């Protein structure tokens, strides 16, 4: 399985490889800041709900 993924990754263009890494970094960032993100979303919904 890992060999298949490795072969697929090596076949990608440099641009695609960079976008894959940016996506992974963004997902890690979201995971670390999950509580702050949810708090901000909740505040936004509460603002529009008039609470």
Task: Give the range of the structural domain holding residue 44, as residue numbers without chain letter.
Answer: 17-51
In a domain, 37, yes or no: yes
Q: Is residue 43 part of a domain?
A: yes
Structurally, the chain folds into a number of domains equal to 1
> Does residue 44 form part of some domain?
yes
pLDDT in tens, 1-51: 989 999 999 999 999 999 999 999 999 999 999 999 999 999 999 998 887
Q: Does 23 reside within a domain?
A: yes
Residues 6+ apart with CB under 8 A from 37: 30
Radius of gyration of the chain (CA): 18
CA angle 33, 36, 41 (to 5 degrees): 120
Tell me the whole-structure pTM to 2 decimals: 0.67
């Amino acid at each position: 399985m890992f060999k298949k993924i490795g072969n697929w990754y090596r076949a990608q263009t440099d641009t695609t490889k960079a976008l894959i890494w940016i996506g992974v970094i963004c997902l890690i960032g979201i995971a670390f800041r999950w509580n702050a993100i949810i708090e901000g979303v909740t505040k936004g919904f509460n603002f529009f709900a008039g609470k």
